[in-house]
Structure 1
Amino acid sequence: MHSDRFRPLVDAKGPFVSIYFDDSHDTEDAAAQLDARLRDIRKQLEEQSVDGSVIQAIDTAVRGAHPPVGRSGRAVIVAGDTVVLDEHLIRPPTTTIVRVSDLPYVVPIVEHGLLHTAYLRVAVDSTGADISVHYASRVNSETVDGDGYPVHKAKSSEGHEYGKEQAVEEAVRKNIREVADRVTHLVDESGAGLVFIEGEVGARSELTSELPERVADNAVQLEGGGRAAGTDEAEVQHEISQELLKQRLTAIDDAAQRFAAGRGTGLAVEGLADVTAALRDGAVDTLIIGDIEDATVVADADLMLIAADADTLSDLGAAPERTLRADEALPIKAVAIDAALVRTDERMSPADGVGAVLRYAENSSA
């Protein structure tokens, strides 16, 4: 996962409140379930002496966002009394997580969030398309009505002239090109990582062929959906979720291969001591986060310098003033140096639950 989405957290001032919960809307009582979860979150925050303005900011953000369709999770991170990050997750966490700490906790987003901060859905037909840009916490929708006309071929009783057929085909192509132009603009504007195309097979294929290669390479044609009434939204969401999960598995597989290849060559390290050292040097290309559990690191008073233990920090000329959770400190330090973040699965088991693929071999650094 690219770290640019977390950049606002690096410059924000704590303390931070990090919340993750099941935000699914797949039952008739979804609204009542959300109310219950928010009451539970409020209680936990009150028990940790969180200010009422912070609690209200969280409640307002959650209720004001576009509700998801089907199974979904929610991530909300607050710095001070300002909501800095608010995202839907592909999958909900198994239990509600509420943390109040010096640093934000982003691991559940790395595990369950979208790899990219946005994707497009395009329901296309011969007359145009309905397009929606899905960001982490909102959806922007619009319609493209093509200028091409007519788009229906003459019936046999109307003469079935060759010229009219040509006019229809050209009108449809014109409309599809207009959709392709708009899709390309929205991809460039939003930074969308995927474009999901739904509709009849012919319209889907023609739109894909009209897209520039850099956009078409990230286009996925869906079997379900379309502009017609009666679309099974649950089926479409299932297809989208499966593709997003496939994309995540591909990213994990790539990191696993690079980590395995880097072992013994100086291009990969593991364990708290070596990974924190690589983060301090700015050498980490991809931080690999496994089961860190309750491991901690130490930091100076300004949280600028971290190390695996107090002796190492002292050797660096800093006083070990703070003890931090490793699963909070390491990811944020990785974000600060623009490193990518990957949550491990069974393919990787680095020492201490943390590893890194490096930008350059350790022995080549100054």
Structure 2
Amino acid sequence: MLDLHIRQRLGAFTLDIAFTAEERGVTALFGRSGSGKTSVINAIAGLRRPDAGHIRIGDTVFFDSVRRIDVPVEKRRIGYVFQESRLFPHMTVRSNLQYGLRRVPAGERRIAFEPVVDLLGLGHLLDRRPRGLSGGEKQRVAFGRALLAQPRLLLMDEPMASLDAARKAEIMPYIERLRDEMNIPIVLVSHALDEVVRLATTMVLIAEGRVRAAGPVGTVMGRLDLSAVTGAQDAGAVLDLTVERHVPEDGLSVLAFDGGRLTVPQIDRPPGAAVRLHIHARDVIIALQPPSGVSLRNTLTATVAEVAESGPSSADVRLAVGGSFLIARITRAAVRELELAPGRLVVALVKGIAFEPDSSGEASDRRKRVVDV
């Protein structure tokens, strides 16, 4: 587990960050530019020394101001992938990959060259130089070089920020494979919510140098008081579902979770596979009775859990659906007319669904949508 609590004065800006991250999976530091995210991972890497606090990974202490411990960068064994790949231009892909591996004693090498090449699809690129690679290919090589340095932890500072939509769609599945197949915790810095929703297991929401919330992505996204930080346009719930079945004749897939079932355009994942949905608050309608005679078919039985104002004329309503939650953004007049209050039984109508592209990487990174399914 990564255990971090640091404080640092940066001019007029004060960083005071505390969170823990599990040993496996992706912890996403999410927030607007200038919120302090990169300063946090630079402190983890040893590139910036905090004024006070501690940084630990498991039983290893990297920094502790009270005990006067500050392990040098080169001894922390932390992989770092920057926004730009920063490959050595005079070296081939093979030499770039082997650079980190050669710096680790043979007896400490638990990650081998060939599996990393296979994992990242780099076999056909080994004899090429960086100038002949696309942006996505360069980042894959950067991932490989960081992995072969045998890191305890992998840091990624907005690794897709410089990529266009097509290259971003290309790189996403490889980060998923790193998350799922390598037993290395990853800390990802991002201000793109679609990246966080798709990749992260834990979300740390940072604003003005402070942690506003931390926990599972669905839990953080489901809080009504955080929409101003996550972004009003992106307000909504995140659901983790399972592919139940496909309906090829209609081009649809049925997804199940503890709150019911949702129908989406057919996705390229087998029954039993996990799928994460981001359902925008603006795409959820509340009714008191199941509708009839309409084309919309995604309806879920729900209970009002919380109501909060979200604008001069709007309100956000948090709906409990099984053990999960949806958020609906409706007018304050509708809240009054429907007499919505905690405990009220309602029906949630889902107009549109945004979900992660399929893991094959063949889809673009634009969210696919289904309207009136």
- Give yes or no for TM over 0.5: no
Tell me which structure has the larger Cα radius of gyration: 1
Give the TM-score normalised by the residue count of structure 1. 0.22
Query: If each structure's strand is expressed as a fraction of its own residues, which one has the higher value?
Result: 2
